[in-house]
Each structure stands twice: as structure tokens, then as C-alpha cells.
Amino acid sequence: MFKSGFIGIIGRPNAGKSTLFNAIIGDKISIITDKPQTTRNKITGIKNCPDAQMIFLDTPGMHRPKTPLNKAMVQTTRDTIGSVDVLFMLVEANTDVHPHDLFLIESLAQTKVPVILVINKIDLIEKKFLLPLIDKFRVLYDFSEIFPVSALKGDGIEDLLNAVKVMLPEGPPFYPDDIQTDATERFIAAEFIREKITLLTKQEIPYATAVEIDLFKEDEEKNLIRISAAINVEKESQKAIIIGKRGAMLKNIGTQARMDMEALFGARVFLELFVRVKKDWTSSERMLQEFGILKR
């Protein structure tokens, strides 16, 4: 009676998908910021239970894309919708349905798998508004279940996991029971760097940045990982901002990213950062493929 399957987490930008994803997995795998469209790639997290293996897919926020970068991100989410056993549609607790949530519901028109509505951030709304909000969503789509949660505080997550487990097909595990993600350490290191750039910079900088790991070398005897990473931007002016006065910004980015890496990897990290300009990379299909955002 062992069960295993894939659960896609979809929602509009900044609804809390990555926070929920990390809370379920029990570790920081997916980066989190207060800026929308932080997640660019589909990220896999594995939740192992005695009787089930639940594989969660964190996805970019669903929105009406205008740029090649955003189109690639939305396509990643659309591909996920059609390739999982269960979907979590994550919305933010509010007094009314957000227009972007209506767009997301439109995207579910051809979906044949169970869709669970997860209403997040219930700690930020008065309870009297919650039931009317649930009623509004019930009219819009035939959700299999509806669960109010607080991903940040962990409220309601256990009940949510028990419900999704019932919906998964019977079958053996897809992954060994001692791993949390199939993302490489190189990928996670690049994401941690990009997270700190997003948190520490403003305006267009986070959206004009892509990180490449040029070197990732482990020294097991010294319990040390040496990482060399390139931060790619579109303009010289953006490069100057990332470096900062006398290199202060770049140093701050590196220090904070290194601390997260050491916590996750369980080793000391020597991190070296460079900044280079790749003009208008967000509009280049070739470079979007090169950075792993657009499928080849």
C-alpha cells in the first residue's frame, strides 16, 4: 500500500509557494524573497514518510508574461500542470479573489488531476473573511479539497499532507529515502547567491541578474567547498550597483550567500564572486537556454 507521486505547487507571484515548499520539505531548498517572480525554475523537493513518498515541485509564479524571460518561466509552470498527480493551487488569504488567481483558474481548464486549493497566510486575515473567500473560490472551480494554512508558521500543513497522500497512486518510491531534492549543489549555490542579490538590491537589478557557477570543488579532507560564481547582468550600470562602493555590495552578497551554503552543505565554503555584463540576456533565447531558464 506504499504510495508515491508528484505534487505541483502553482500560484500567482509572491503567494508563498516557496515558503510552503520549504516548510513541507523541512529545509531551505527553494529561495525566498519579498519580491515577485523570484522562482525561475521548477525545483523538486522530496518528502519521505513511512508509507509514502511525496515529490513536490515548486514553480515560477503564474502571470501574463510579456518578456522572453517571463514567458519561459510561465511555460515551466504550464508544463508542470500537465505532468503531476495532484496540484496545489496556492492563493493568498484576502477579502476577495485576486485577478491573477482568476487567470490561474483559466489555466486549469484542461486539468484532469485533483486540484487542492491552499489558502495561505491565514495568520494575516481576520477569520470572518475566510469562509466568504472559500465560498467565492468554490463557485469558480471544482476543487477536490480546500485547506487554509500558514506556511510561515506551519499551521494546517500536516492536515494538507494527510489529504494529498490519499490522492496519490500506489507505487514504489521514485528516489532514495535519504535525499530531499534532486537539485544539484551547484544549482542550489547559484540560487542562494541570486536570493541575496534580490534581497539586497532594488528596482530592475534582481530581474536582470543570472548566476553561473564556474567552479564547484569539494575537499573532503578539509571539509571545504571552493565555489567560483559569475553574476551576469545586462548593463554596465547594473554591474556597478552589484559591486557597490569599494566592493561593499558584492562582499555583502557573498557573505550572506556563503552562510546559507555552509548551513545546508554542512561544510566550510570559500566563495569567490565576479560580475560580468551579458547585454540584454533576458531577451535572448540562446542565453535563457544557457542559463537553464528556457528548455533547449
In the chain, the amino acid numbered 122 is I
Contact assessment for residue 157 and residue 149, using Cβ atoms and an 8 Å cutoff:
yes
What global pTM score does this model have?
A: 0.88
Q: Is residue 174 part of a domain?
A: no
Number of folded domains that form the chain: 2
- Position of cell 476577495? 96
Q: Which residue(s) pair with 227 in the sheet?
A: 216, 271
**Cβ atoms < 10 Å from Cβ of 57:** 23
199 and 244 co-located in one domain: yes
pLDDT of residue 295: 78
Sheet with 52-58: list strands edge to edge.
43-49, 52-58, 3-11, 86-92, 115-120, 145-148
Q: Is residue 54 part of a domain?
A: yes
Grid coordinates of 228? 567560483
In the chain, the amino acid numbered 95 is T
Q: Is residue 24 part of a domain?
A: yes
157 and 200 co-located in one domain: no
For 191-203, give one letter per residue: b (16+ CB within 10 A) or e. bbbbbbbbbbbee
Q: Is residue 284 part of a domain?
A: yes
270 and 241 co-located in one domain: yes
Q: What is the CATH number of the domain that holds 209?
A: 3.30.300.20
Per-residue pLDDT reduced to its tens digit, 270-296: 999 999 999 999 999 999 999 888 877
- For residue 230, what are the domain limits? 185-290
Per-residue pLDDT reduced to its tens digit, 152-208: 999 999 999 999 999 999 999 999 999 999 999 999 999 999 999 999 998 889 999
9 and 103 co-located in one domain: yes
